[in-house]
């Protein structure tokens, strides 16, 4: 019989009253519950993922739990996850998506700011600040990729690789784009030291990263 979240939490030594929420359990006990949601979400075919989900409902629940439990510490994150699990307005698939998004926010905050939790990678066995993916595997991958492109300026190349390793987060990873892969290049404005243009990128952007030994990075089309 499927156990309720309340039963699971009580089993793990967590009080359930929202105002008195306490959790003495080890992080490892949460890991499987969260990882299952993330894995189910990442395994969804990309095309179907958004079509079948009520994005506005998911965003509303995410906004609600973020407002109810502010902060970037693990305790706030666990409370948000617990309430998403217990929410009765979302389907399981929508909950998976919400938990995956909340976990990405948690990974970003932990990686860039709080750095109060570390997680061991099953592949390389190094510890990093992210739950969903391994920053070390991603950085290794990006550094290997860096041997396959060049801006023709070593200083710019170094800065791009440095920025990639500082924040290995999907959609925040800077990449060198050759001019021939840009279309619709339009002048936007003059900055302090350069002119700014907008353009359409004709290739696929880094969409998400995963903890596994082959497809570290998933790309999706931008157009």
Using CB under 5 A, list all residues that contact Zn ion: 121, 123-124, 134, 136-137
When the beta carbons of 123 and 156 are compared against Zn ion, the nearer one is: 123
* 76, 164, 176, 202 from 181: Cα distances, Å: 42, 20, 11, 5
Instruction: Supply the minimum distance, in Å, between the C-beta of residue 211 and Zn ion.
Output: 7
Instruction: Supply the minimum distance, in Å, between the C-beta of residue 94 and Zn ion.
Output: 29
When the beta carbons of 8 and 121 are compared against Zn ion, the nearer one is: 121
Three-state DSSP class for residue 91: coil
When the beta carbons of 77 and 119 are compared against Zn ion, the nearer one is: 119
Mark out the alpha helices in the chain (DSSP H runs): 5-11, 27-43, 46-51, 55-68, 74-86, 92-109, 135-145, 154-166
* CA neighbor of 215 nearest in space, from 42, 49, 93, 96: 42
When the beta carbons of 160 and 209 are compared against Zn ion, the nearer one is: 209
Instruction: Supply the minimum distance, in Å, between the C-beta of residue 124 and Zn ion.
Output: 3
Give exposure, 86-98, as e/b (b: 16+ Cβ within 10 Å). Answer: ebeebeebbbbbb
Contact 83, 62 (CB under 8 A): no
When the beta carbons of 48 and 123 are compared against Zn ion, the nearer one is: 123
Instruction: Supply the minimum distance, in Å, between the C-beta of residue 115 and Zn ion.
Output: 17
Three-state DSSP class for residue 167: coil
Instruction: Supply the minimum distance, in Å, between the C-beta of residue 214 and Zn ion.
Output: 13
């Amino acid at each position: 019989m499927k156990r309720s979240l309340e039963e699971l939490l009580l089993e793990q030594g967590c009080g359930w009253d929202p105002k008195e929420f306490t959790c003495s359990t080890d992080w490892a006990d949460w890991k499987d519950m969260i990882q299952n949601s993330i894995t189910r979400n990442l395994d969804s075919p990309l095309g179907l993922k958004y079509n079948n989900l009520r994005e506005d409902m998911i965003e509303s629940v995410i906004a609600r739990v973020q407002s109810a439990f502010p902060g970037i510490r693990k305790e706030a994150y666990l409370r948000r996850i617990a309430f998403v699990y217990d929410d009765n307005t979302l389907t399981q698939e929508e909950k998976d998506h919400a938990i995956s998004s909340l976990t990405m926010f948690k990974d970003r905050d932990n990686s860039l700011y709080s750095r109060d939790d570390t997680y061991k990678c099953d592949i390389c066995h190094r510890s990093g600040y992210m739950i969903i993916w391994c920053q070390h595997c991603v950085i290794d991958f990006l550094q290997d990729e860096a041997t396959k492109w060049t801006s023709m300026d070593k200083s710019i190349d170094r800065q791009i690789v440095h920025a990639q390793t500082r924040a290995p987060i999907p959609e925040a990873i800077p990449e060198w784009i050759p001019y021939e892969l840009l279309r619709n290049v339009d002048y936007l404005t003059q900055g302090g030291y350069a002119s700014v243009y907008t353009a359409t990128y004709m290739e696929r952007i880094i969409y998400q990263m995963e903890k596994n030994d082959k497809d570290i990075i998933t790309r999706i089309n931008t157009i």
